[in-house]
Amino acid sequence: MDFDLKIFLDTLPSLAWGAVTTAKLAAMSALLGLVVGVLGGLARVSRHKPLRTLAFAYVTLIRGLPLLVILLFLYYGLPSVGLLLPATVVAVLALAMTNGAYVTEIVRGGIESIDRGQMRAARSLGMSYPMAMRRIVLPQALRRVLPPLTNESITLLKNTALVSVIAISDLLRAGVDAMTWKANTFSPFAGVALFYLLLTLPLLALNGWLERRYRVH
C-alpha cells in the first residue's frame, strides 16, 4: 500500500475544486434530465400514438447505449458535422439525455400507478385531459416517484466520473492529475473516494427519508 498522509492532505484542495465541478455538472444534468423525463413520461402515456412512439424510441435508444459511447459520439462526432460545443455542454447534454431516459420510465410508472378511475372522475367533472393530468394525476404520481428520482440522481452523480475522458477537470480527473504529479496512486484516490462519499451521502439520506415519508401502503 502506498498511502502517504502528507500526499493525501496536499491533494485535498485540488480534489475539492474537482468535486465542485462534479457537483455542478450533476446538478445541471439532473435538472435538465428531470425536464426531459417529465415530458417524456407524459409522452409515454399520451393518447397520441406518434408521441408515444417517439418517446419509446428515445428511451429504447438511450437506455441501450453506454453513457461513455454517447459522450464520445457527441464530443468527437458533432464537430464533424460543423457543430463544435464546449466540453461542459457536451457533458451536460450526454448526462441529461441518459438521465432523462430513465426518469421518463420512472414518471411513466408513477402515472400508470394512479387509479385510472381518478382520471375518469376528473373528466366527468368537466376537466380537460391536460388539466386533470396537471391537477389530479401528476401531484399524486410525484409523491410516488420522488424516492426513485433521488436514487437516479445518485447514479447520475457517480456517472459524472466518465466526463473526465473529454478533458473536463472533474473530481476523477483531479485525482488522475494528482496521481501523476505525486507519483502515488492510493493517496489521491483515497481523497477522490472521500469526496464522492461526501457528495452522495446527503442524497442517500434524502432517499431514505423520502422512502419512509412516501411509502405506499
| pLDDT higher than threshold 90 for residue 137 | no
Query: Long-range CB contacts (< 8 A, 24+ apart) of 165-168?
Result: 165/68, 165/71, 165/72, 166/71, 166/72, 166/75, 166/87, 166/90, 166/91, 167/87, 168/21, 168/25, 168/87, 168/88, 168/91
Q: From CA 5, how far away is CA 28, in angstroms rounded?
A: 34
| pLDDT higher than threshold 70 for residue 207 | yes
Are 18 and 194 a contacting pair, CB within 8 Å? no
| pLDDT higher than threshold 50 for residue 217 | no
Spell out the domains of the chain, with CATH numbers in brackets: 5-213 (1.10.3720.10)
Residue 216 has what pLDDT? 52
| pLDDT higher than threshold 70 for residue 106 | yes
More confident residue, 67 or 113: 67
On the CB side of 126, CA atoms within 13 Å amount to 0
Residue ranges of E strands in 35-155: none
| pLDDT higher than threshold 80 for residue 184 | yes
pLDDT 10s digits, 157-176:
999 999 999 989 899 999 99
**Grid coordinates belonging to 128:** 380537460
Are 31 and 181 a contacting pair, CB within 8 Å? no
| pLDDT higher than threshold 90 for residue 38 | yes
Average pLDDT of every residue of the chain: 90
Residues 6+ apart with CB under 8 A from 196: 19, 157, 158, 161, 171
Are 140 and 76 a contacting pair, CB within 8 Å? no
pLDDT 10s digits, 1-30:
577 788 889 999 999 999 999 999 999 999
More confident residue, 4 or 55: 55
Coil vs helix vs strand at 180:
helix
**Grid coordinates belonging to 210:** 423520502
Residue 124 has what pLDDT? 82
The burial class, CB within 10 Å (0-12 / 13-18 / 19+), for 66 is exposed
